[in-house]
Structure 1
Amino acid sequence: MTDFIKRLQERRLNVWEQTKALLDAAEARTGEERKLTAEEEKTYQALNADLDLIDARVKELVEAEQRSKDADEAFRSLLDKEPSPEHQGGAAKGEVERVRAWLTGASGRSLDIRPQSPMPLDSRAALSKLTATAGGNTVPVSFYNRLVQHMIESSGVLAAGPTVLRTSTGEQMQIPKTTAHSTSAGIVAEAGNLPDNLPTFGQVSLDAYKYGFLLQVSHELANDTGVDLLGYLAMQAGRALGNGFGANLVTGTGSSQPNGVLTASTLGKTGAASVTGAPSGDDLIDLFYSVIAPYRQGSSCAWLMRDATVASIRKLRDNSGGAGTGNYLWQPGLTASTPDTILGKPLHTDPNMPATALAAKSILFGDFSTYYVRQVESLRFERSDDYAFNTDLITYRAILRGDGDLVDTTGAVKYFAGNAA
C-alpha cells in the first residue's frame, strides 16, 4: 500500500511537470498568442482535475491503511492473541474498550471523551499525521485523537495551526487582545524624559457555543464485531463537528457564534480593476509582504483558500525572469503528508472560504497561531435505544462546545479582496 501511495505521489509530480510545460509553451509565444488556446485550456483543466483526483485518492488510501490496522486489532482481540506493540498502551486501549462498551449498550447512556492525558492549556493543532516509518505504528491512537484528527482534516483553520485552548468547563474566558504595537524607540537627551511607548490592548471574550448532531445505526451493525464501528463513529462525528464548527471558524460573525478568522482579519491587498476578482502573481506577492516579517516567519504562517481558487493560482508566476517567465508561485508537496506551498509557505484549503469574485475576500495569509480556538475539553456522546424504537435503530448524539477569535488585530492575518467593480 505504501509503495502504491509513493507511485501516486510520483504521478502527481509528473502531472505538475506536464502542466508547467503547457503553460511554459504558451508563455513562449508572443502577443495575444501567449494566451492558452481553447484546446490548451481544456488540457490544463484536465491536468488540474487529475491533480485533485490523485489528492483525493491518496487521502482515501491513507484512511484505508488506518482502518486495516483497526480491523487487525479487533481480530487479535477476538482470537485472544497478544496485541502487537503498536496497539499496546494503557490509556488509549482503555478508552477504546470503554467506547466499544458504550456503543453496544454494555455501559451507561452517556459518555464523556477526554484527552488520554492532561493537556496544556494551549497547544497547536497537528498539521499532519506521522507515517508508519517515522514511528507512527508505535503510538496507540485513542478514540479522542482519531476524532480530532478527522475534525482537523475537515477544517482548514484547524489544520493551519491555530492556538487551541482546552478547558475543563465552559465559562466565558477573557483573553488579552493586541490592537497596536509599541512604536520604535528614539534618541533621548541626557536626563531627558523617556516617552510613553506602550502597546494597546483590548479583550477577546471566548464563549463555549454548542455544536451537535445525531447519527443512527442499526442494532445489527452495532452488534457485528467484524465492523469497525469505532472508526466509523470517529470519522462521522469528527467530520460533522469539523464541518459545523469549522465553517464558523472561517466566516462566523462573532455574534452568538465564533468570530471567524476571515471576519476578524484585515485587508492586505485589493486586486486590480482590470480583472474580475482573481489575484495575479503580483497580488499574492504583495499580500505575502503585507504581513510583517515576525508573523511571516512563524511556524503557523500559511495560506488559506478554497480548492477552486487553487486551480487558477497554479498558473501564476513571479517576475524573477521577466514578466510571466519567472518561477511558479505554487509548488507541490514532495510527500503525501506535506502540504503544497505558495512562496514557500504551506497552503491549506477550506470549502468555507469564498470564491474569487468582485469584492470577495477569497484568500487569507498570515500567522494562524494568533487565532485562538477554545474547546471545552470533553466531547459528550449519548446513546438512545428509544428515540427510533419503531425502526430498531440506535441513535447517537455528539456534542462539542467551542469558540474562536483573533487575538492580534495588528495585521497578523490579512486577506486578499477582489476589486470593487
Structure 2
Amino acid sequence: MSDFIQRLQERRANIWEQAKVLLDTAEADKRELTGEEEQTYQRLNADLDRIDERVKDMQAAEQRTRDAEAAFADLLKRPAERGTPQAKGEAEEVRSWLTGQSGSRAFEIRPDGPMPMDLRTLSKLTAAAGANTVPISFYNRLVEHMIEVSGILAAGPTVLTTTTGEQMQVPKTTAHSTNASIVAEAGTLAANDPTFGQVPLDAYKYGFLLQVSHELANDTAVDLVGYLAKQAGRALGNGFGAHLITGTGSSQPNGALTAASLGKTGATGVAGVPSADDLIDLFYSVIAPYRGSGSCGWMMRDSTVAAVRKLKDTTGAYLWTPGLSGSPDSILGKPLFTDPNMPATAVTAKSILFGDFSTYFVRQVEAVRFERSDDYAFNSDLITYRAILRGDGDQIDTTGAIKYYAGAAT
C-alpha cells in the first residue's frame, strides 16, 4: 500500500472521529444536532464517501501498475522471433469485429482458462474506464462494471456459470432429521428422515442496443473496448442486478430481498428508520451457523448507511466501524455492502438485509453475446451493436439464512 493511500485512510479515520464528537456532544446534552451541527455532520459524511472513492481508484491504479510490470517482464523473458507473424491482440480483434473487417456478425465474450470465472477482477474495481496502459480482457471489464452496479454480486453469492441455458434444478434440504430420542430395550426406532426439495434456476435474457458512428469505430484514439464494456456492463448490470435484489420470481429472477424472511420489524412512529436495538435484534435473528459464515454481511442503500452511522449500542460504542486497508466497512463486525436497488427506509419498507449471501445462487450462462449490424441504421451511417446476457437468481436455503428489517406499519 502506498504512503498516499495510507494517509488517506488515516484522514478517513480522523474525519470519523470528528463526526463521533458531534454525535457524542449532542447525546451528552440530551438533544438533537443543531442545524449547524447537522450541516457539519453531513459534510463529514460526504468527505468519507469521497475518500472511499479516491482510495478505490488509487488501489486500482496500483494494481494496473503491478500488472504492467508483470506483463513487461513476461515480454522480456519471451522475445518474439523475427519474421514470425504475431497473433492479434484481443483489443485488435474486437476493433476488427466492430468495424466489420473480420467478416463475422457475432462476437462471444467468454472468460479465459478452465475456470468459468476470473475472481481476480474483484481486486481491480474502478469507476473510471480511462486509457489504461495494460490491456484488460473484454469479459473481465464487463464483469467489473456489473459488480460495481450490483452490490449483491460483491457480497459473496454462489455463482454458477453454465455453458447452456436449459433449466437447472438445485437440490436443497427443507427439513433435517429431528433429535434422537431414548428407546427402551428391544423398542421400535421411529423413522426420522430429512426431507429434500429443488429450486429451479432458469436463464432469463437481458439485452440492449448500442449505436456508434463509423467515425468513432475507426478512430484509433478511442478506447472502444473500455467504452463498450462500460456501457454494456452498466446496462446489463442495472437490469440483472435490480432483479437479483427485488425480482418477483415470476418470469424474472427471485430477488434476495423477495426471498428473505422477516427478522425484525421496527418501532412505530419512526418512518422505518432502524434503531441500534433493531439492528442487534436483526443480527441475532439469523442463527449462529449463518452468522459465522465468511459470506455473512449487511446489505442496504447509501442513504440508509448515513442513518446507521449514528447508531450506538448500550455501552456507547458505534455499531458502524470504518474499514481499514481496503476492507469493507462493518456493522457489529460483519461487512457492509451497498446496493442502489435496496429500498430506502420508510413505513413498511424492507430496507436492510442481513445473513449468509452464499446461500443465494446466481446462475449465468457462459457467454455474454455481442452482435453487430451495418444494415439496422444504414441511412444514418451508424453501426448497431446488441449485447445479451442470460441469467437467473434465487435463494436456495429458505430456512432463514438471510433476514430483512422492515419499518413498522405506522
**Alpha-carbon spacing, 1:95–1:152, altered in 2? closer, same or farther (3 Å):** same
**Alpha-carbon spacing, 1:47–1:87, altered in 2? closer, same or farther (3 Å):** farther
- Tell me which amino acid in the other structure corresponds to 1:150: H
How far apart, in 2, do the equivalents of 1:211 and 1:87 lie?
39
**Alpha-carbon spacing, 1:14–1:221, altered in 2? closer, same or farther (3 Å):** farther
Q: Per the alignment, in what secondary structure is the counterpart of residue 397 of structure 1?
A: strand
Q: Per the alignment, in what secondary structure is the counterpart of residue 335 of structure 2?
A: strand
Compute the displacement of 1:146 (Å).
1.8
Task: Tell me, yes or no, if structure 1 residue 315 matches structure 2 residue 305.
Answer: no
Q: Per the alignment, in what secondary structure is the counterpart of residue 189 of structure 2?
A: coil
Task: Tell me, yes or no, if structure 1 residue 238 matches structure 2 residue 196.
Answer: no
**Alpha-carbon spacing, 1:52–1:130, altered in 2? closer, same or farther (3 Å):** closer
Equivalent residue runs for 1:88-127 within 5 Å: 95-107=90-102, 108-119=104-115
Task: Check the 8 A contact 2:60/2:123 in 1, yes or no.
Answer: no
Instruction: Give the RMSD, CA atoms, in angstroms.
Output: 3.0
Partner in structure 2 of residue 76 of structure 1: none
Selected match of 1:362 from 351, 357, 366: 351
Selected match of 2:140 from 123, 129, 145: 145
Selected match of 1:408 from 391, 397, 403: 397
Partner in structure 2 of residue 36 of structure 1: 33
Partner in structure 1 of residue 53 of structure 2: 56
Structure 1, unpaired ranges of 5+: 74-81, 132-136
How far apart, in 2, do the equivalents of 1:125 and 1:7 lie?
28
Partner in structure 1 of residue 175 of structure 2: 180
**Alpha-carbon spacing, 1:140–1:87, altered in 2? closer, same or farther (3 Å):** farther
Compute the displacement of 1:51 (Å).
1.7
How far apart, in 1, do the equivalents of 2:88 and 2:199 lie?
38
Task: Check the 8 A contact 2:118/2:140 in 1, yes or no.
Answer: no
Relative to the length of structure 2, the TM-score reads: 0.87
Task: Check the 8 A contact 2:243/2:255 in 1, yes or no.
Answer: yes
Partner in structure 2 of residue 84 of structure 1: 72
Relative to the length of structure 1, the TM-score reads: 0.85
Selected match of 1:284 from 279, 288, 292: 279
**Alpha-carbon spacing, 1:347–1:127, altered in 2? closer, same or farther (3 Å):** farther
- Tell me which amino acid in the other structure corresponds to 1:27: E
Task: Tell me, yes or no, if structure 1 residue 128 matches structure 2 residue 122.
Answer: yes
Equivalent residue runs for 1:157-176 within 5 Å: 157-176=152-171
Compute the displacement of 1:128 (Å).
3.4
Equivalent residue runs for 1:194-343 within 5 Å: 194-319=189-314, 321=315, 325=316, 327-335=317-325, 337-343=326-332
- Tell me which amino acid in the other structure corresponds to 1:161: G
Partner in structure 2 of residue 14 of structure 1: 14
Q: Per the alignment, in what secondary structure is the counterpart of residue 84 of structure 1?
A: helix
Compute the displacement of 1:245 (Å).
0.1
Compute the displacement of 1:264 (Å).
0.5
Partner in structure 1 of residue 23 of structure 2: 23
Compute the displacement of 1:141 (Å).
4.2
Compute the displacement of 1:354 (Å).
0.6
- Tell me which amino acid in the other structure corresponds to 1:238: G
**Alpha-carbon spacing, 1:269–1:341, altered in 2? closer, same or farther (3 Å):** same
How far apart, in 2, do the equivalents of 1:191 and 1:94 lie?
76
How far apart, in 1, do the equivalents of 2:271 and 2:363 lie?
37
- Tell me which amino acid in the other structure corresponds to 1:284: L
Structure 2, unpaired ranges of 5+: 79-86, 126-131
How far apart, in 2, do the equivalents of 1:227 and 1:171 lie?
38
**Alpha-carbon spacing, 1:102–1:67, altered in 2? closer, same or farther (3 Å):** farther
Q: Per the alignment, in what secondary structure is the counterpart of residue 48 of structure 1?
A: helix
Alignment: residue pair count:
393
Q: Deviations over 1:41-88 (max 9, x none)?
A: 221122112222333344455566778999x89xxxxxxxx9614789
Q: Deviations over 1:149-207 (max 9, x none)?
A: 21111101111111111111110111123333333333333443333333332221111
Runs ≥4 residues deviating over 6 A: 64-70, 86-89, 123-127
Q: Deviations over 1:211-270 (max 9, x none)?
A: 011222222222222322112222221122111100000000000000001001100111
**Alpha-carbon spacing, 1:11–1:218, altered in 2? closer, same or farther (3 Å):** farther
